[in-house]
Amino acid sequence: MGASVTHQPIRAVFLGAPGAGKGTQAKMMAGRCGALHVSSGDMLREHRRRGTDLGRRAQGYMDRGQLVPDDLVVAMVLERIRQPDAGRSWILDGFPRTLPQAQSLDRSLHAERAGGGTAAVRHVAYFDVPDAILVRRLTGRRTCSNSACGAIWHVEFQPPRVAGVCDSCGGQLAQRPDDREDVVHQRLEAYRTQTEPLLDYYAGRGVLVEVDADQPPEAVLADLVGKLDG
């Protein structure tokens, strides 16, 4: 893997439909370059698990495959990337997902830069996968229930050695409730109407790169790194 992308701060947004492989790639990339992986979906699920007010307010939207209201998500993510452990490198996975979210992120980073910080979204990677593949990926996904691990598997494309058991930590694998096929179609619809317009938004800022995500994960990562370096 080319080295330069790992030798400069990464401030990246990973964009793509549900099941495009954003989480899989963000974990691989963050593991290699030491960036903080910030997944808005994982953060919301953790709030639900802990039964916080935010978790309770997000629950119905997530179960129906709808986006959680912008104000709830923006505050949660911006607060996270201001923490000291976010340092100078982060990968945002699943955020922003609407134009107002992207504008809030830009405003926040602009204010940070004005205060002497080095913040700016340097890269936006769009993971492109055909719809028919997305549905198979989502309905076959299994996730480690151990929240400290959270490894992502697939019954067909990335099966663990023992069915139902995480190779990484031995935790139990579970299907996300929103990976049921009826909810998956709602999520894809929300993506098309609310998130896809961000491709033009970031292309207009000259930071968008497109990755062919319909190939094995290691090949996707190689493509991603090549594009970020380029």
Determine the Cα–Cα distance for residues 119 and 17; give it in Å rounded to an integer: 26
Nearer to ligand AP5, 8 or 169 (CB): 169
Determine the Cα–Cα distance for residues 66 and 44; give it in Å rounded to an integer: 13
- Type of residue numbered 153: W
- Type of residue numbered 118: T
Token pair listed for 9: 């701060």
Residue from 5, 12, 20, 211 in contact with ligand AP5 (CB under 6 A): 20
Determine the Cα–Cα distance for residues 122 and 178; give it in Å rounded to an integer: 31
Active site residue 80: no
Token pair listed for 168: 């990484």
65 binds ligand AP5 (CB under 6 A): yes
Active site residue 50: no
Nearer to ligand AP5, 8 or 189 (CB): 189
74-113 positions binding ligand AP5, by CB under 6 A: 94-95, 97, 101
153 binds ligand AP5 (CB under 6 A): yes
187 binds ligand AP5 (CB under 6 A): yes
Residue from 44, 54, 224, 225 in contact with ligand AP5 (CB under 6 A): 44
Q: Write down the H helix ranges in 82-209.
A: 99-114, 131-139, 181-190, 198-204
Active site residue 22: yes
| Cα 54 to chain centroid, rounded | 19
From the list 11, 27, 45, 97, the catalytic residue is 97
150 binds ligand AP5 (CB under 6 A): no
Nearer to ligand AP5, 156 or 200 (CB): 156
From the list 48, 80, 122, 176, the catalytic residue is 176
The distance of closest approach from Cβ of residue 148 to ligand AP5 in the complex, given in angstroms and rounded to an integer, is 17
Residue pair 89/26 in contact (Cβ under 8 Å)? The answer is no
Residue from 10, 33, 73, 228 in contact with ligand AP5 (CB under 6 A): 73
From residue 63, give the alpha-carbon distance in Å to each of 126, 173, 176, 197: 25, 19, 10, 23
16 binds ligand AP5 (CB under 6 A): yes
Residue pair 15/126 in contact (Cβ under 8 Å)? The answer is yes
Q: Under DSSP, is residue 126 helix (H, G, I), strand (E, B) or coil?
A: strand
From the list 11, 22, 27, 45, the catalytic residue is 22
CB atoms within 10 A of CB 163: 10
Residues that bind ligand AP5 (CB under 6 A): 16, 18-24, 40-41, 44, 61-62, 65-68, 73, 94-95, 97, 101, 137-138, 141, 152-154, 157-158, 178, 187, 213, 216-217, 220
Q: Which active-site residues does the annotation give?
A: 22, 97, 141, 176, 187
